[in-house]
Structure 1
């Protein structure tokens, strides 16, 4: 606006043009962050979280097994009416499950450290992408066993092709829900 006012007064010979599109690079001179880059980082984030969940799950079960192996339990006396070996096995499984749930927290930290330079751009695209999903997703109140809602949170969208297919699936869901109600 300032440049336009200066141009009208004759102080500038031309009005500078500014382009506002997502493919232009930022003012810092970094490379542009495309949707393909976003989906690649999203896939990397999910893989890191999954692998760290597996490792922390194994670690949690091993820690639980190590703890239960060091306490003294009478194997002939039931624990809350159950066989002690079954209770200890269930505790090891619960320890592994708890470890698996802790894994994505560690994985998110690893992902942030690995992609520190592009994290702000990734978060901005992720926020925009999630708002698009929220606006485009159909109403789940009309789902049924024969017409399930397609990927409500968009967790399986890893490319523009997947996103377009998700939009087609959502439109098909809306059409089926409208026709059969």
Structure 2
């Protein structure tokens, strides 16, 4: 509809234009303020070596955020459960309240530790949005390569497990080449065993 606010061409176009103009006056649109598309920011493409370096930096941010979040969760859980009244003769689901509160406090700490990497990733995106966007684009391409080159899980067995299905251990080009060799070896072993069964 916003594209119809241009100048009319022909009688049918004039009716559409007048209708759109009337509608724009009703909803308060002015032709000066209408944008057909938002300006897009295209980050500079990164090389594969830069991609692995940026990926390591992001993982470092995630790991560094896990510890403060765990301490924060432990402290918040401790503050909440320490303020609750405890009756020594009263049990909760057959458990001692002190034991239950202590376990719940530890659970809050573990929850903070598990949620910490997500918070670290958010801080990484806030700290360097251009690099984060470039990393996301390159990571999508990386996972397309992983999906196209990984071995078929059908060839897996107890003696021939599938090596690194998602490519999480790949941290350099040399590691990627090693991963490719392992995938081909897994496929070759699985094909050989399937051939023996027939």
Tell me the TM-score normalised to structure 1 length.
Answer: 0.75
1:104 CA drift (Å): 2.2
Task: Tell me which residue corresponds to 2:14.
Answer: none
Q: After the TM superposition, which residues 24-173 of structure 1 pair with which residues of structure 2 at under 5 Å, given as runs?
A: 33-173=46-186
| CA distance in 2 between partners of 1:53 and 1:62 (Å) | 14
Bigger CA drift: 101-110 or 115-124? 115-124
**Regions of 4+ moved over 3 Å:** none
Tell me by how many angstroms 1:176 deviates.
Answer: 1.8
Unaligned runs of 5+ in 2: 1-42
Q: Deviations over 1:19-66 (max 9, x none)?
A: xxxxxxxxxxx9762111100010111121122122212211211111
Quote the RMSD (CA, aligned, Å): 2.1
Q: Which has the larger radius of gyration?
A: 2
- What TM-score comes out, normalization by structure 2 length? 0.69
How many residue pairs get matched?
Answer: 153
Greater share of helix: 2
Other structure's SS at 1:81 match: coil
